[in-house]
Amino acid sequence: MRVRADGSGSVEPLVTEAQLPGNKIAGSWSADGRLLTIQSGANVVVRDADGVFHPTLTTGADEREARFSPNGQWFSYRSNETGRWEVYVQSYPPGNGKWQISADGGAQAMWAPSGRELFYQNGNRMIAVEVELGTAFKAGTPRVLFEMPLALTAADDPSRYAVTPDAQRFLVLTTEKAEASTSPITVVLNWARALKY
């Protein structure tokens, strides 16, 4: 379903049970807002602006968490085609290349808004990979950004973290152990008023 953020207008169904039976999970919009990835069972389909569905990842493997790159020419996803969850990048539309990004497992891939990095989770580690987007795709070597107790993803919950627009900070859903080991945050309200005294 889709509805305006300001609450005006009516709720618009983007996909119905008749169109795609079973669980349906929205993955990401393309930057121009015309394409939406949808996880449908073990497959990924793309809905275009006219409401037409395009089967995109329909192999014998389980594919999830498809997200468009900032330039809309690529999308990341995870698949168990090797027998283990790994992160991949593929062209959109498919047919112009596919790359395995993770080397020893990965999930929940997310693009840096700049399009220069791809992040993903590997167990309790957050991994970053430098990428080049354009007519050709290039990926660097995965490197660990940080390690902390990270909550495992569930099939109906494709993301347990968010990246700030400058890709310098992460908002992470973590476990109780991580919360107990972090320093508390103090929020000061009306701090500018206190400077007058």
Nearest Cα neighbor of 2 from 36, 46, 42, 30 is: 36
- Name the one residue in this structure whose structure tokens are 């995870």: 78
Alpha helices in the chain (DSSP H): 176-181, 191-194
Domain borders along the chain are 24-194
- Name the one residue in this structure whose structure tokens are 């929205």: 26
20 exposed, middle or buried (CB, 10 Å; 0-12, 13-18, 19+)? Answer: middle
pLDDT tens, N- to C-terminus, the chain (197 residues): 889 999 899 998 999 999 999 888 888 999 999 999 999 989 999 999 999 999 999 888 999 999 999 999 999 999 999 999 999 999 999 888 999 999 999 999 999 999 999 999 998 899 999 999 988 999 999 999 999 887 766 655 667 888 999 999 998 887 755 554 566 778 888 887 777 66
193 φ/ψ angles, rounded to the nearest 5 degrees:
-65, -40
Q: What CATH number has the domain spanning 24-194?
A: 2.120.10.30
